[in-house]
């Protein structure tokens, strides 16, 4: 006879709730140690799965973006390159240019951080914007 715990693990795997299954013992310990209600425990479990799936979706979108490397604005050394307007770059990171349908172009000599900044903003876009696929419909002429 299989224990209730093992049946639960099997059900989680069949439902493809892999992150809940992986972290089940940890959450059970938290619920038990902190005297958390059944509903709060379920909420914790479902949040674990949702957060994991969001992270996977972000990783996939960033991968689809085919960036040369993973960089973020927070990793950029503005002190090393004082000629770059930090406030302007942080404003670009807000992605307002997308809503206004504006393009951005980085110009400058080699080694000033153009690729780092462009990649950082591209990664930010992929993390915050759903992937959109546009297909052209064929034009039929008779």
| pLDDT for 24 beyond 90 | yes
Q: Write the DSSP string, 61-93.
A: HHHHTT-SS---GGG--TTT-TTS-HHHHHHHH
Helices 86-93 & 114-128 angle (0-180, nearest 10)? 30
| pLDDT for 15 beyond 80 | yes
pLDDT at 134: 45
Q: Which of 129, 141, 134 is nearest to 57 (CA)?
A: 129
> Per-residue pLDDT tens for 85-111?
999 999 998 998 888 888 989 888 898
> Per-residue pLDDT tens for 46-84?
999 999 998 888 778 777 777 777 788 898 999 988 888
- Confidence class for position 34, pLDDT limits 50, 70, 90: very high
**Domain ranges within the chain, ordered by starting residue:** 4-64, 73-128
The residue to which tokens 């690729």 are assigned: 115
Q: 126: which 2 tokens?
A: 């992929």
> Per-residue pLDDT tens for 105-136?
988 889 888 989 998 998 888 777 665 544 55
Query: Do residues 120 and 93 lie in contact, with contact meaning Cβ atoms separated by under 8 Å?
Result: yes
| 59 or 34: which leads in pLDDT | 34
Name, in order, each residue with C-beta under 8 angstroms of 124's C-beta and a sequence gap of 6 or more. Answer: 72, 73, 93, 95
Name the range with the highest mean pLDDT among 1-5, 15-19, 67-71, 73-77: 15-19
| pLDDT for 30 beyond 80 | yes
pLDDT at 83: 86
Q: 7: which 2 tokens?
A: 């049946």
* CA atoms 41, 42, 47, 49: torsion sign: positive
């Amino acid at each position: 006879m299989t224990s209730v715990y093992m049946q639960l693990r099997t059900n989680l795997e069949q439902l493809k709730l892999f992150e809940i299954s992986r972290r089940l013992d940890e959450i059970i310990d938290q619920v038990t140690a902190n005297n958390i209600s059944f509903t709060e425990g379920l909420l914790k479990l479902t949040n674990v799965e949702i957060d994991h799936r969001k992270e996977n979706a972000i990783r996939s979108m960033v991968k689809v973006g085919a960036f040369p490397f993973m960089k973020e604005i927070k990793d950029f050394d503005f002190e090393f390159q004082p000629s770059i307007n930090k406030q302007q770059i942080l404003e670009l990171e807000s992605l307002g240019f997308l809503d206004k349908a504006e393009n951005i172009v980085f110009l400058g000599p080699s080694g000033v951080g153009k690729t780092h900044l462009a990649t950082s903003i591209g990664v930010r876009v992929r993390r915050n914007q759903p992937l959109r696929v546009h297909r052209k419909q064929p034009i039929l002429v008779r």
